[in-house]
Amino acid sequence: MKTLMVFDFDHTVVDDNSDTWVIRSLPSQTLPDSVKKSYRKGHWTEFMGRVMKYIGEQEVSPDSIRSVMETIPFTAGMKDLLTFISEHKSTIDCIVISDSNSLFIDWIIQASGFHAAIDQVYTNPAKFNELGYMEVQNYHSHDCDQCSVNLCKKKVLEVYLSEQSDRGVEYEQVFYSGDGRNDFCPTSCLRGNDFVMPRKGYSLEKLLVTLQDQKDNSSLRAKVIAWSSGTEILEELKASIKF
């Protein structure tokens, strides 16, 4: 029986939003109002497609974008946590489920040297087209009315757990760590011996507090432990696997 560590990425593994960090690659380091105002609620990935098209039109090269993305800071304590995971891969599996995109996450993880810690990344696929502009696609389609059109993290987690079970891999405990509203949906598929770990002061923590205050909170079975540093997650992980 193994332990599964599930991370969100933005404001969880890294201490900022990778989708807004990329704007630093622009000479002006800002977007025009015409792009800013084109966002529609629930359609962030579609919006990021327009952002990346604009950045490409300003002749910002893929290498320049990558260099900027590699400077995004990691959240306090997160490097120690990822180092521990990479040293204990026989007992800990680790995946990332993120609303960022595959290029941003891959660049950041490769530059930091933590690719050995993470078994799989589930995020919106991205590539550069023939014009040198980054294109971002929706990760999948789904019928969850709680989540943005491009990604339901609960569906991703359920499929992953099912596929692992088919391979004979069962998890004694699942740790789910995130910060945002889109991390709320997957908490309902966690079990009583699992942990949901919201970052203190962010949307996920507030949603969980509200749910815990309700009389009918049966959808939340996992233990809730809020954190402000990756060190706190590491301590819980060590305690659960008797290190």
Q: Is 63 a catalytic residue?
A: no
Q: Is 15 annotated as a binding residue?
A: no
Q: Is 179 annotated as a binding residue?
A: yes
Catalytic residue among 8, 93, 183, 194: 8
Q: What's the burial of 135, exposed, middle or buried (CB within 10 Å: 0-12/13-18/19+)?
A: middle
Amino acid at 17: N
Tokens 């079990």 locate to: 191
8 A C-beta contact, residue 97 and residue 157: yes
Q: Where are the beta strands (DSSP E) in the chain?
A: 2-7, 92-101, 120-124, 126-128, 134-136, 171-178, 195-198, 223-224
Q: Is 10 a catalytic residue?
A: yes
8 A C-beta contact, residue 96 and residue 105: yes
Q: Is 99 annotated as a binding residue?
A: yes
Q: How many CA atoms lie within 13 Å of 167's alpha carbon, on the beta-carbon side?
A: 10
Q: Is 143 annotated as a binding residue?
A: no
Q: Is 8 annotated as a binding residue?
A: yes
Nearest to 138 by CA among 211, 67, 49: 49
Q: List, as residue ranges, the binding site for Mg(2+).
A: 8, 10, 179
Catalytic (active-site) positions: 8, 10
